[in-house]
Structure 1
């Protein structure tokens, strides 16, 4: 680009044109110098009494991050930039703080979002290279592995890589101090690896450890096969699930085999494979298992029959239940089946009466008495069937039997009321729910749904929505990504930017990639809405820039183009320059990004923005200009009334290895049309085109004739067209004649074109009149509404 910059400067000097240097987006305001005879007095200090009544400027809250995360993110950025990395000791402290915050012996581990897991993996690899993870305490490594025993970690392979890295470090640690791996070490690994989707590796490690243990110490079963069975079932790996039974026979106890059979039944139930489920249900019946476990299997089988509407399967299970004396749990299961098969509330009430009468033949401690659990199971079936009327009737039946609803009942009630958009009814239930124990946060999901529905309804006042949101916030309950999105749009529509920043800083850093992308997409959609004001769109973009640093180039280009649509090229160029200043390769501008920006500037004819972007291009070592980019520059400079500059880019195209394309020729002719003495340049280009033997179609003739007419050579242009019509068979159409008329300077020249066209081609002229005219923005003269737009 250096030689190109020199060429630009010399061309400007030779053409006696000014050299624009408006590359600074924020020029300094210089005070004009004072004449020497005037003494500049110091400004008096002013204090305004009324300032004491002004509200203090609100400061946005800091992002709420897990301990150590900020340092880990800093490391990732430094690694990406190939900059000096922080000391390993600092990274180790950050990793320790982060994983310690996720490990809680009493309350269980907390999920690590996948975006945080990426930072963690980079940091652990760095520590392994410089400090050696195997030098850490075994207990610490075990606790770190335990963190990944969480069901939210199944979605990404990065968790398996993390568990494998830590377990290898634990194995090396034991090897260095000449100790055997303990069963606790292996169990922690197996449990975590099964949780993150690496069950096959966990199974192999269990077999390896079992063999080594039995060879050296004597046989002792490894009590981790339950996790392996569950893992294969979650991964839907039928083949390995069945093969694991053979290994269980060799390395585990009989109880483990019974457990495995029940898990395989659950697997086929989840797969909705009725034939296999029935087969394994019969196997479960053959083995001596716990009564409670067998009854749970019956309930799962009935649930499958309900879901698949397979009454035959359901009747099979009901016959097994009624063959003996049903327990309370089995009665609840039969009542569920009755509701699922279409029984009404009155019939359910009669079945409950039958159950109560049957108690007379049983000891009092075995009586089957309907309770809140019974009610909740029935209401849930009604909710799943999307039958709110039946759910209300079942709650009424429970009321007549003095069965008091609990928090779960009210949660179901809120669900079915929200399903029918009864927001007021759901709010009423929500108020009753506040008097119950919600320490387990069972209501968080439905309250999140309530907030979103209130935001979407448009009928709920702002304070009511905020009261519900504040309740969740006070309890420090999690906000779902969709809820954060809905509340963000609500605040933005009220110009409450600080509230949006506080909301996002509080919640978005705990989301995984999908959750972050959901909020990010909502903000971008809001920014692009035509109903969003320009100020609101800019505020939204600034939030995106600050919080979602990973916003992709394509999304940023959409925002940039939207500011062009809003007639704000200055804001669009800011978006473009933020891309240029970015550190990620998938965000910095490409040739297509420059073309999009130049096209937007050209449409708005903003010369200052054009010079800013062009100066940036000359300094951008990542961009190798090609014909596509030169076309965009040529088009933009022509639109900004700098056709001579535009023709300079034509010369660059003509001398390049790639050479011009059809669009380049059209754009060069557009520049010749507006440039002083542009007809000479147009003729030179035209002569070269005819020498190359390129097919000169109607579009090219229209552009060439317009270039001649634009410089006042109407007769020359007309004669050239007439000659081409006779000798080359050029067909005149609305584009050719319309281009001639639109390019003609002044009313007199337009009159000449009009007189000629009416005489020689009256039908085409009549078609042009049918198309209609408009007033040109540049000449303020009439022109036909024909499409002469050329893409770069």
Structure 2
């Protein structure tokens, strides 16, 4: 299907129809048991392939036509779409393909139109309503009302849910008023059912919308619906919305309402001991462990592990036996506290790992993430692996935070194969935000200066495959980090990968070129400088600017090609943008190695003064270094003496040190030392405390530079 996409883009021959039919069918048959997630890339391929095969359907062999357009296969498409997690960016495309399948099912294939089955209708209605198109779902119910009569649960609940998800209260009320015309009532039971359904999906705004929707006969919501709404609101710290609902409950506390009353008191700051005092003998018998669980759940919603522990002790005081849910909630509180020891203890003593799936998957994610990020992750590796095994066997999709934590842990164990096996089948199910979390785990490792060059390059190979869509910004940062490692060979490879990108948005920008040339200047890599400069000459998408010219000047100067730098400087002078202050500072650096450098530097400083160009410490120091490099001792010392008058700041110990470093031959360096001892004794004394190392042209102070950034 990807080949078909490329062929349509470059107008080449498409893959054979039988191959496309097999690919299209395989996508859905392989997902019946485990629908997984559908991302934007997959949705687009499915849409392109469907349209292509639809256009060719008259030319397909009978078997090929059946494999795509037969009722069984069309219904399978709808089923997979309804069960899969459609990532937000893929949703519109998925709905379009689903509508194609629905219309095909409704078409007349010799048995009359609209012979679509009831199960397929119900799946299609729920798919549309749950993914942002409740109008289409409503239209289908009206069209096939007779065929859908008596369906349990009523498909109208799907439509109401769809409008609730969009917070479309006007349409929600309109539909509830219309229902009686079609023999359906939005009664207390339907209201309660839909409210609890939305609560189970953790959709607070939708819960509010549905709860406030009028009920047939102007009835109040049922007591269970009120209790469920208050409970959910308190867990979301929405006390003000819950208050009128709570106030509408019977004033006399009953076995049905004692739990929500305790939870209400807890949400208003009552401690465990205060709650224990409020439960008299007549009501204690009505308490269940579920009421204690609700209190622990509330404490966890407030991220208060100590309060959760206090509430858990109430079970013993009230003679209640903790159940599986109690232990799971306690596990969550230990995770929140970052208490590895108690987490492992309750896992070993009270919890069956097989329960950490299904509804408890969010807790499993939190648990694995906490263990991966703990200081003891190496010691806990086997424990983490045992938790993952059943999840992987069931093809459970972990959340992005957990994947990122696992990735980070495996990277620092240098297990590249395990990282690849972890990410390959799972990255496609993440949205862009989730992918960013996982990508950050890889980039953090590559930017970690403690890692070896070879390890960083291994991870880069994984990164390149897993995040081919990664933008220029992050790739440029990786390139620069390799320059920092003095690995310009690898840095230029990263640059080359950007240059080869098919998508123009992922190709190098002017800033990328400038930073690459800056890196090449710091590594004095003449071979790769020529390579990248040639790439620039062939890059019709990049417009030359002063930053790029500055980078080229720096790089050629560092590679001992000052004449080439001077040529580029003259190009800057002739460009529309012209030179910047940094260009002039770089010009002085070029003068250090130029055969006529001293005269060029003196001439340029004269022009700078004449044109009243602002001169900062960095530019002036570059001028001094240029003079020193040309052994113009007297002119350089005069420039230092005049520094305060020329630019408004006095020389510093670093100024003296850079002068010393720039002047060649130990004879002249000794002259600088004697001059500084007489003229600037304090500055020299401070500088002399710094370590010096031997170089080909004499000693130099370590750790001081006057690097100009492009």
How many Å separate the matches in 2 of 1:265 and 1:235?
15
How many Å separate the matches in 2 of 1:639 and 1:405?
72
Q: How far apart are residue 230 of structure 1 and its match?
A: 0.9
Match of 1:390 in 2: 310
How many Å separate the matches in 2 of 1:261 and 1:78?
52
How many Å separate the matches in 2 of 1:732 and 1:768?
17
How many Å separate the matches in 2 of 1:422 and 1:439?
19
Residue 717 and residue 415 in structure 1: after superposition, are their counterparts in 2 closer, same or farther (change >3 A)?
closer
SS in 2 for 1:86: coil
Match of 2:46 in 1: 120
Matched, 1:86 2:15: yes
**Which has the higher relative contact order, 1 or 2, with Cα contacts under 8 A spaced 6 or more apart?**
1
Give the TM-score, by structure 2 length: 0.79
Q: How far apart are residue 227 of structure 1 and its match?
A: 1.4
Query: Is residue 149–residue 196 contact of structure 1 (8 Å, CA) maintained in 2?
Result: no
Residue 303 and residue 497 in structure 1: after superposition, are their counterparts in 2 closer, same or farther (change >3 A)?
closer
Higher-Rg member (1/2):
1
Q: Deviations over 1:194-253 (max 9, x none)?
A: 2112234544x35xx73x779xx999899532212111212223333334344445x533
Q: Deviations over 1:296-344 (max 9, x none)?
A: 333323543674446964663442675xxx5x65555456556656374
How many Å separate the matches in 2 of 1:142 and 1:436?
36
Matched, 1:788 2:678: no
Residue 332 and residue 775 in structure 1: after superposition, are their counterparts in 2 closer, same or farther (change >3 A)?
closer
How many Å separate the matches in 2 of 1:89 and 1:329?
63
How many Å separate the matches in 2 of 1:274 and 1:85?
48
Matched, 1:147 2:85: no
Matched, 1:463 2:386: no
Query: Is residue 78–residue 98 contact of structure 2 (8 Å, CA) maintained in 1?
Result: yes
What does 1:48-59 correspond to in 2, within 5 Å? none
Residue 276 and residue 477 in structure 1: after superposition, are their counterparts in 2 closer, same or farther (change >3 A)?
closer
After superposing the two structures, state which structure 1 stretch, 240-249 or 420-429, moved more.
240-249
Residue 299 and residue 742 in structure 1: after superposition, are their counterparts in 2 closer, same or farther (change >3 A)?
closer
Match of 2:127 in 1: 192
Which of residues 140, 156, 177 is equivalent to 2:88?
A: 156
Residue 454 and residue 638 in structure 1: after superposition, are their counterparts in 2 closer, same or farther (change >3 A)?
same
Match of 1:556 in 2: 475
SS in 1 for 2:427: helix
SS in 1 for 2:358: coil
Residue 622 and residue 347 in structure 1: after superposition, are their counterparts in 2 closer, same or farther (change >3 A)?
closer
Match of 1:640 in 2: 559
Which of residues 234, 244, 256 is equivalent to 2:186?
A: 256
Match of 1:354 in 2: 282
Query: Is residue 411–residue 419 contact of structure 2 (8 Å, CA) maintained in 1?
Result: yes
Which of residues 512, 523, 527 is equivalent to 1:604?
A: 523
Matched, 1:524 2:459: no
Q: How far apart are residue 425 of structure 1 and its match?
A: 2.3
Which of residues 150, 168, 172 is equivalent to 1:241?
A: 172
Which of residues 153, 163, 171 is equivalent to 2:103?
A: 171
How many Å separate the matches in 2 of 1:141 and 1:247?
32
Which of residues 336, 356, 360 is equivalent to 1:419?
A: 336
Residue 131 and residue 394 in structure 1: after superposition, are their counterparts in 2 closer, same or farther (change >3 A)?
farther
How many Å separate the matches in 2 of 1:701 and 1:678?
15
Match of 2:157 in 1: 226
Residue 219 and residue 664 in structure 1: after superposition, are their counterparts in 2 closer, same or farther (change >3 A)?
closer
What does 1:212-361 correspond to in 2, within 5 Å? 224-248=155-179, 251-256=181-186, 286-287=218-219, 294-301=223-230, 303-304=232-233, 307-309=237-239, 313=244, 316-319=247-250, 322=253, 330=257, 332-334=259-261, 336-337=263-264, 342=270, 344=272, 351=279, 354-355=282-283
Number of positions where the alignment pairs a residue of Structure 1 with one of Structure 2: 681
Residue 219 and residue 590 in structure 1: after superposition, are their counterparts in 2 closer, same or farther (change >3 A)?
closer
SS in 1 for 2:185: helix
How many Å separate the matches in 2 of 1:571 and 1:429?
48
Query: Is residue 265–residue 277 contact of structure 1 (8 Å, CA) maintained in 2?
Result: yes
Query: Is residue 230–residue 245 contact of structure 2 (8 Å, CA) maintained in 1?
Result: yes
Residue 303 and residue 434 in structure 1: after superposition, are their counterparts in 2 closer, same or farther (change >3 A)?
closer
Match of 1:491 in 2: 410
**Which residues of structure 1 form unaligned runs of 5+?**
1-71, 358-367
Matched, 1:409 2:338: no
Query: Is residue 37–residue 428 contact of structure 2 (8 Å, CA) maintained in 1?
Result: no
How many Å separate the matches in 2 of 1:732 and 1:559?
37
Residue 501 and residue 411 in structure 1: after superposition, are their counterparts in 2 closer, same or farther (change >3 A)?
same
Match of 2:593 in 1: 674
SS in 2 for 1:469: helix
Query: Is residue 160–residue 198 contact of structure 1 (8 Å, CA) maintained in 2?
Result: no
